Structure 1
Amino acid sequence: MLLSLAPMSLRATALSAQGTQTLAAEENGGCTIIPLPQQYEETQGNFTLKPETRFVLAQADEKAADSTEVVASEFRKSTGYDLPVVQGEEGKSGDIIIRLDGEAVTEEEGYQLSVTADGVTITAKSAGGVYYGLQSLRQMFPGQIESDTLVSDVAWTAPCADISDEPTYGYRGMHLDVSRHFFPVEEVKRQIDHMSQYKINKLHMHLSDDQGWRLEIKNNPDVVDKDGNPVDFSNLTELGASTSCDHNGVRAGYYTQEEFKDIVAYAAERNVEIIPEFDMPAHAWAALVSMPMLNSTEDGKPHANGYDNTKPYQGWDVGWASLECRNENTYIFIDEVFRQISEISPSMYIHVGGDEAHVTAHDDYVYFVNRVTEIAQKYGKTPIGWQNYDAAVEDKENTITQYWNTGDQRALDGVTYIASPADHAYLDMKYDASCPLGLQWAGYAPVDDTYNWDPTDFGSADQFIGVEGALWAETLADPEHIDYMYYPRLPGIAEVAWTPKENRSWDEYKERIAQQKDRLDSLEIGYKEDTLIWEKPVNFRMPLDEGTGTTVKDTTGDFKGTMVGGVTWGEGRYGSGLVFDGSGYVDLKYDDIGGDWTAGMWVKREDSGAPNAALLAGTEGEIKLEQWKNTGKVGLTAYGVDDYTFDYTAPIGEWVHLAFVSNDQGTTLYVNGVETDHMDATINGPVSRIGANYKDGLSDRGYMKGAVDDVQIYDRALSAEEIMDMKEDAFGFENEMIFNFDEGEGTQITDTSGAHSFTLGDGITWTDGKMGSGLDFSGAGRIELGYRDLDKNWTVGLWVNRRESVEHNAVLMSGATGEIKLDQYQNTGKVGVTAYGVEDATFDYSAPMGEWVHLTFVSNDQGTTLYVNGVEQDHIDLAINGPMNRIGGNNSVNLAGGGFLNATIDQLSVFDRSLTADEVKDLVDVDSEPANKTLLEKTIAYAKGLDTTGVTDSAKAAFEKALAEAEAVMADVNATQTEVDAAWDALLEGIWGLGLVQGDKTMLEQLINKADGMIPDEGKYMPDHWQELVDALAAAKDVMADGDAMEEDIQPVAEALLNAILAQRFKADKSILDDLINKAEGINLDGYTAESVATFRTALANAQAVMADNSLSEDDQAVVDEAVAQLTAAMDGLTAGGAPETTDKPEATDKPETSQKPEATQKPENKVPQTGDNSGLMLWLTAGLASLGGAVSVFLKKKRQ
């Protein structure tokens, strides 16, 4: 029976006309709740949560109690209060009272919330309404109430207010793609916790795609394919769940049915319904490669040109493969999947996919969609399909389509929809061009775009049952990625679904979402701090170390500037800096800082030759390097007010540090960290432009001439001590830095000088090092150094114990422009150097797995040289600036993955110069004691006395080479212990190789000669095994010609040739039979009795059949002889007695002449040998076998165990 689903059945009942209140931005009464309630009136006072507060359910209701417990348990963590949940009692002052009243609140998920100083009352029709009333109350408390740990310095108060609220749409969903990358149960639960706070009530889980099948389907003995064979579903998870998209790392896995039921139950307590999706007929490669029954190919595999059919897909392409829509096995498979999911998913919905079926023929697609719809309805489910489903499905009344078009395409009449327009609701779209995650095929999706839309933009209100935000995971491999793309956009989607369009305003919503920051922080959600919502205070430091390009950035990457006109890179105070030639500037374009501020930078002034020169300019004023009217002095200008001058002139051609500190007392000038002058005048902190003024209409542009470095601007007044620190080079590195890593505990590392200390990142632990303790990098953490890169003359050395990389590459150290790799990009396994965006250069060396090795990188103008254990290993022409920003991970947000190191390191040394070869040896400490050559010396003496007669050519050559190299190392007074040990190992292998003596080929030669003699007589032998003889003979001749062939090489080919010879069989001897048949066929049968003629003809026919049977060998000679005997007897048995028919027939009483009947024993002169004629060959072969057996015995005795 089909389910009936009217288009409006899930749309919440609208508020009555008299109860509706439109809330303009200025009329929301101070409400901070998201989604915005339908009615909100703030009253006087506050409610305070106290230790004695209880949650009291006036009527006992287990579902409502469960929903209440969810919120109460969260409050307990942060407040430390007991906050018990009690049922069936009347509340008292200070309690949070919950009442179930279906007359007071008629909408299923609606609620009324009254907050007074004396207590809180929530009234609702259902447990869902209770849960949402509690969520609104939750958002009225300080954001710190979300903390997982006790918070002791916050007053737990909520403003008094009266709220009446219900949703606009009954379907308010989020979508999570767990197929492209898999996310475990705990992560799904975490996301359910967060989204349910914003009254999201559906989680659509995308459980299958080309990249992975994510739900266990159990074997069912009752399920057979169309041919009656049992169906094995186990490979769906064994193979189908074994991988994922590989962008940002592989995240494989699946949910058992028990785990899925756990998710369903957990979500239900939070009023969230789980909707499973199995995408088809496209997006099904993981199922196709896992289930041979789905493919009508000979090999049982799907075939799509250019795609690996042995495993799920790992890329991003879509629509290139399809289930077989006319294969009945497809529907047997789907039926069982739907049957099993219907038993563990109480949702009335199942999502059947249906999108991007580019290679599925139209008629096949329509057939498929309707078959699948019937199967879903068979199990009591309402099917949902992605757009395209709406045009193909016949039962439009009892199905739902998920609208995901971009632009303003309208919904089809007569179809029920969920609104998910990709350009507004696809949360995997990048926020903007700088977003490191996501895609952009539907354009960018900034926060305001995901809020400023409504389902009615695409059709009439009665066509839509709700809204869903979609998050696809091609680029999302970590929980932090989900957080970043969901938040802060998810709350806006939630408000689109809950709050009427006429009550929503971006400007008003922006204020409420901005106030969610403390809440998001306390929940530890890794949200994007979007500047559309949270305008970051201007606080930045620009080291100006880029050295190339036209963009300057601060140390966080959040603040940027653009070089315009006559501004170039040059030598700075520290590293590189900006040089202004009097015709250019750097545009920052940030708003002026109101209130207190500080600005500082290094300046090397040149005479501008102009009336004034601006250092920093804003919209209302500027800091002057040369004040107006050629004073040459530093000053401040307030546009249209006055030009103020400090009693200080910056020197020409000399670096000086200038800092300006402004507060309500005026502005103070510091020179090289020392207070130099003060004025009472103040201006707003100028952050619009460096090197020229920013205001139009002034007498000139105020271009400065000179150089600038290390620009710092802060939205507060720094202290004198901070100003002194400000001028220091926080990012510079001088001379050397050596870490022994001997701390062995804690989270800090400090170099041997005590001048450099850093904090260990997550995933880095202490372990045994090469010498004492060392640092273990587990493939998930890095150490932030924060220094600017060194110039191209530098050295880095360290001990490394390598493990298998967890990503595409493994970084040892990274900087602003490049990095040194333990495992070069694309997992070459080799050590390398990378210049970002230029080249991945590779040394011809791979560090061993699980062994300590010392690597030293020495860079200069000629390139980079790699030393291994103090010995030069390889050189590449690529040179990069010394990478000084991070250890154990890359430093560029535009790279695939983090390049996290999976290894243990020890004894890290960094130098701002290129060490010599001798210094590198000292660094490795290879000369701490002389190498021990005793064993090598004795082995050389032994080797010189060995005889190489009869040894294979290659073994002899290898021995002589190893001996010569060992003697060279022996003579080298500077040879390291590593080199001595390597020489000894090589010589030992050479000595062992002398056991590789040439084998005895006598018997092989005999076998070859015998086989050569058989080849001309090919026609005498049966064809069955002839090719074996030909192949075995060819192989034997190859070994015969090989001067390095030993017994173990000779023995198998000799055995193979012998077996091939023994396998030959002569053809059966049919010469007598042939002659007899010829004579029998010439007999005139007239005059013989019918009975004897019949016997004759039967024997003749049998003889002819035997003659024609080419499969008979000498082993079948008895068959031939029997045919001869039967035919001979039949000829002898011809009996006269029939009437003659012609005159040339013998008389009836006569028998044919005996000359017409050869004797059975008569044989032709030149006969083919018969069985029994091979006795000579067999005797010879027997001798051969015995000889081979002896050869095998000799080989076994000689072989070194």
Structure 2
Amino acid sequence: MNGLDLIPAPTRAVPHPGEGFVLDETTRLTAGPGTGSAGPWLRAVLGAATGLPLGPGEPGPDDRAAAGSVELRLDPALPAEGYRLTVRQDGALLLGGGPAGVFWGAQTLRQLLGSDAFRRAPLRRGPWTLPAVEIEDAPRFGWRGMMLDVARHFMPKEGVLRYLDLLAAHKLNVLHLHLTDDQGWRIDIRRYPKLTEVGAWRSRTRYGHRASPLWDERPHGGYYTQDDLREIVAYAADRHITVVPEIDIPGHSQAAIAAYPELGNTDVVDTSALTVWDDWGVSPHVLAPTDAVLRFYEHVLEEVLELFPGQFVHIGGDECPKDQWRASATAQARIKELGLAGEDELQSWFIRHFDRWLADRGRRLIGWDEILEGGLADGAAVSSWRGYAGGVSAALAGHDVVMCPEQQVYLDHRQAPGDQEPMPIGFVRTLEDVYRFEPVPPQLTGGHAERVLGAQANVWTEVMESAQRVDYQVFPRLAAFCEVVWSRGLSAPAERDLAGFQGRMTAHYGRLDALGVAYRPADGPLPWQRRPVPEHMTTGQLGRPIDGPPPIV
């Protein structure tokens, strides 16, 4: 890396002779036609951090920036998300294959200026020096994402906007926003106001994982207005990030059923007595397979499509218990009417219906790998979370895949063994483990490998009750993940230089500090990041999480 300490690692970086380009009060920042939001964004963040005006200037000659300028231009010979950054002593020229390429190059330029370039006000007068270098770079995958679960613990709008900035700083381009679940409904739907009036609030919350005896007795909730979501989507678009909404169907629906009891299997349970779930795990309460339920969710999705212009809509499709359907005369009659083999195919019928419905409107369905059960819907893409197997099967059958296996990239899982980690659940997955993650398994080659759109790291929030807690789980592991999905030269774990990555992380921790990220330090949690027993919790006999790590407190 020639001492540049860039994360993610670029494809090629060649130092130039000389002392680099010094930015000062006379430096100009010029953005050419078609470069999109990169110029205004770079002027805003660097202007805030350096105090320099960085006013516009005139373009330079074809092969270099005007003297004393940082210049942004398009070069259609480069990949759409690719860029070439050339820094000489008299200026810096950033070329991008498209607006996104220019923007990712601008992220690299910011890193080259040092960690203080990530602050919101200047700490010093300068000098601000870009090292003399030529960098050429483009991403390995088109889908480089993070799934943020705001259903289990609500994250206010400002927190989501902050995470969009953090994703952009790591050249990630998809935010999968998990908006509905048993424990909360977080999107305002005009036609069905009870979804947020009732479904966005629960009376209390289990503190810890499913075996924990602790309860937070405070009510919890919140939701995004439609204008909030329009703002989030627009903010993301300026950063070349697509927001993929998730509306869970047909399982993980207790909050919706609590708001509108007729959505549930009313011939099996008294759904009028249901409340928003205060526990974790998989609720037995699932949607009834009726035409009325289909119409209800079509109406919901009509409003979702108004808010989210991206190609994909995630409909969940995971962890749908079939017990109520087995006991329901209505469900069994629907199975017979449709000539289905059983409850698995009934779930597939749900998914296929919304696959066709979305396709008719120019969109694509994506769901968790359970949508493979009972037959995969035509045109659907798969989020492979239960290991690689579902993704391999889907790709071999000609379907697109986003790899997010629980065993590798679930960032809610603990980062180290022992009793210091807050709320230890799941597997131990260290920074090094995430760095060795490979999105394309060896079973997929040639055209089948090309079905892997990319990967995402999933951030489930059952045990993340605050923004600081989310930061702790996400960082620094998201930095390792971003390099895996971006860096073309690291397409096999054996090609990855772990020691080199850890060395570059030394500089990257300074950037995270400047951004105010409450990450997990390399040598373990700080005292205030360890497991407390808050005074507002009720306690009983201490238990162990389901997979048997040390006690929860």
Is the structural similarity TM-score above 0.5? yes
Cα distance in 2 for partners of 1:408, 1:531 equals: 34
Deviation at 1:463, TM superposition (A): 2.7
Aligned to 2:302: 339
Partners of 1:78 and 1:145 within 8 A in 2: yes
SS in 1 for 2:428: coil
Aligned to 2:331: none
Aligned to 1:481: 469
Match 2:357 to one of 364, 372, 375: 375
Partners of 1:430 and 1:444 within 8 A in 2: yes
SS in 1 for 2:207: coil
Determine if the alignment matches structure 1 residue 411 to structure 2 residue 392.
yes
Deviation at 1:92, TM superposition (A): 2.7
Match 1:252 to one of 215, 221, 238: 221
Match 2:282 to one of 318, 341, 350: 318
Match 2:26 to one of 35, 52, 63: 52
Cα distance in 1 for partners of 2:233, 2:284 equals: 33
Q: 1:170 to 1:245 in 2, by over 3 A?
A: farther
**Aligned-CA RMSD value:** 2.9
Cα distance in 2 for partners of 1:369, 1:316 equals: 24
CA deviations over 1:82-133 (Å, ceiling 9, x no partner): 1235687875322111111213x1x111111111111110111211111100
CA deviations over 1:190-234 (Å, ceiling 9, x no partner): 011011111000000000000001001112xxxxxxxxxxxxx11
1:1136-1151 aligned at under 5 Å gives the runs none
Aligned to 1:826: 538
CA deviations over 1:565-584 (Å, ceiling 9, x no partner): xxxxxxxxxxxxxxxxxxxx
Cα distance in 1 for partners of 2:166, 2:354 equals: 34
Determine if the alignment matches structure 1 residue 448 to structure 2 residue 408.
no
Cα distance in 2 for partners of 1:189, 1:410 equals: 30
Aligned to 1:1094: none
SS in 1 for 2:505: helix
Letter matched to residue 7 of structure 2: I
Determine if the alignment matches structure 1 residue 401 to structure 2 residue 382.
yes
Determine if the alignment matches structure 1 residue 242 to structure 2 residue 187.
no
CA deviations over 1:635-664 (Å, ceiling 9, x no partner): xxxxxxxxxxxxxxxxxxxxxxxxxxxxxx
Deviation at 1:491, TM superposition (A): 1.3
SS in 2 for 1:342: helix
Cα distance in 2 for partners of 1:349, 1:173 equals: 13
Aligned to 1:499: 487
Partners of 1:111 and 1:165 within 8 A in 2: yes
Aligned to 1:354: 317
Q: 1:86 to 1:251 in 2, by over 3 A?
A: farther
Instruction: List runs of 5+ in structure 1 lacking aligned partners.
Output: 1-27, 220-232, 304-308, 537-554, 560-781, 783-806, 811-824, 828-833, 839-892, 897-1201
Tell me the TM-score normalized by structure 2: 0.84
1:845-860 aligned at under 5 Å gives the runs none
Determine if the alignment matches structure 1 residue 212 to structure 2 residue 204.
no
Q: 1:267 to 1:47 in 2, by over 3 A?
A: same
Letter matched to residue 284 of structure 2: W
Deviation at 1:330, TM superposition (A): 1.3
Instruction: List runs of 5+ in structure 2 lacking aligned partners.
Output: 209-215, 326-342, 544-549
Partners of 1:420 and 1:470 within 8 A in 2: yes
CA deviations over 1:544-580 (Å, ceiling 9, x no partner): xxxxxxxxxxx95999xxxxxxxxxxxxxxxxxxxxx
Aligned to 1:229: none
Cα distance in 2 for partners of 1:458, 1:357 equals: 30
Partners of 2:175 and 2:241 within 8 A in 1: yes
- Greater share of helix: 2
CA deviations over 1:906-961 (Å, ceiling 9, x no partner): xxxxxxxxxxxxxxxxxxxxxxxxxxxxxxxxxxxxxxxxxxxxxxxxxxxxxxxx
Cα distance in 2 for partners of 1:386, 1:435 equals: 32
Partners of 1:37 and 1:164 within 8 A in 2: yes
Cα distance in 1 for partners of 2:193, 2:247 equals: 17
Q: 1:482 to 1:127 in 2, by over 3 A?
A: same
Letter matched to residue 356 of structure 2: E
Percent of counterpart pairs with the same letter?
27
Aligned to 2:66: 92
Cα distance in 1 for partners of 2:390, 2:266 equals: 40
Letter matched to residue 468 of structure 1: Q
Tell me the TM-score normalized by structure 1: 0.40
Letter matched to residue 169 of structure 1: F
Deviation at 1:384, TM superposition (A): 0.5
Aligned to 2:140: 168
1:479-558 aligned at under 5 Å gives the runs 479-500=467-488, 501-502=491-492, 503-531=495-523, 556=527
Determine if the alignment matches structure 1 residue 424 to structure 2 residue 416.
no
Cα distance in 2 for partners of 1:342, 1:203 equals: 16
Match 1:280 to one of 243, 249, 254: 249
Count, aligned residues:
501
Partners of 1:288 and 1:294 within 8 A in 2: yes
Deviation at 1:160, TM superposition (A): 1.2
Partners of 1:401 and 1:416 within 8 A in 2: yes
SS in 2 for 1:131: helix
Cα distance in 2 for partners of 1:245, 1:127 equals: 44
Letter matched to residue 531 of structure 1: D
Deviation at 1:256, TM superposition (A): 0.8
Q: 1:50 to 1:529 in 2, by over 3 A?
A: same
Aligned to 1:964: none
Higher gyration radius (CA)? 1
Cα distance in 1 for partners of 2:511, 2:224 equals: 31
Cα distance in 2 for partners of 1:200, 1:208 equals: 23
SS in 2 for 1:82: coil
Cα distance in 2 for partners of 1:519, 1:448 equals: 20
1:827-976 aligned at under 5 Å gives the runs none
Deviation at 1:410, TM superposition (A): 6.6
Determine if the alignment matches structure 1 residue 385 to structure 2 residue 367.
yes
SS in 2 for 1:205: strand
- Greater share of strand: 1
Deviation at 1:407, TM superposition (A): 7.2
Cα distance in 1 for partners of 2:179, 2:529 equals: 37
Letter matched to residue 419 of structure 1: M
Q: 1:262 to 1:87 in 2, by over 3 A?
A: farther
Partners of 1:428 and 1:472 within 8 A in 2: yes
Q: 1:49 to 1:410 in 2, by over 3 A?
A: same
